[in-house]
Structure 1
Amino acid sequence: MVSKVSEWREKGWPIDGIGSQGHLEAGSTFPSSEGVAGAMKALCAVADECAITELDIKGAALVDYENAFKGCLDVENCVGITVWGVSDKDSWRASNTPLLFDANFTPKPAYDAVLGLL
């Protein structure tokens, strides 16, 4: 994506921003939160603005949500993070408990970690 956006902008195509979907896996499996910081730095370097879109993380581990949020917060022109749903009950990945609230809308530890970062 970085290569293509760079190429298109050099041709004068009006690309102002990039949104990167974030359907991640907990822990060290791919795609994991460990690569978010590097990916966002690379994407944000070739566009005026960038954002993490559709963020959900299988297992919703606290450290993985922290990694993903820091990946955006640490880049000046990363302008937003969209979590892909509110409660696990309504997630397209419901059986993988990927969101910040459980099926009863009770905040998970990852929710508190995200609040601490913001």
Structure 2
Amino acid sequence: MILLLIWILNAVALLVVAYVLPGIHVASFGSAMIAAVVLGLLNTLVKPILTLLTLPITIVTLGLFLLVINALVFWMAGSILSGFQVDGFWWAVIGAIIYSVVSGFFSRLLVNDSNAVS
């Protein structure tokens, strides 16, 4: 049940990002749901490989290159899907940051809410 709720909240976070930024487009809530799954899969499968391959540059930049990796993963999801579109790299950087903040906020609300029930 929690996994389904996290999935829905991540889709809502994508809709928030698309509402705030003119360079990111989400066609519908269904497209946001599919994009949330694809982003989750890319973050689970591709992001660790990219992080490992770019470890030297990440160390040199004191971790700031991880923002670039997040943007590339976000941009990759936008290029894979037809209902979710990212217009460029800089929109992907800003969108990935806002998506992380909003989904982190939703996750924090979910964690606090589930702790209150227990």
- TM-score, normalised via structure 1 length: 0.25
Greater relative contact order structure (CA < 8 Å, 6+ sep): 2
The structure whose residues are more often helix, as a share, is 2
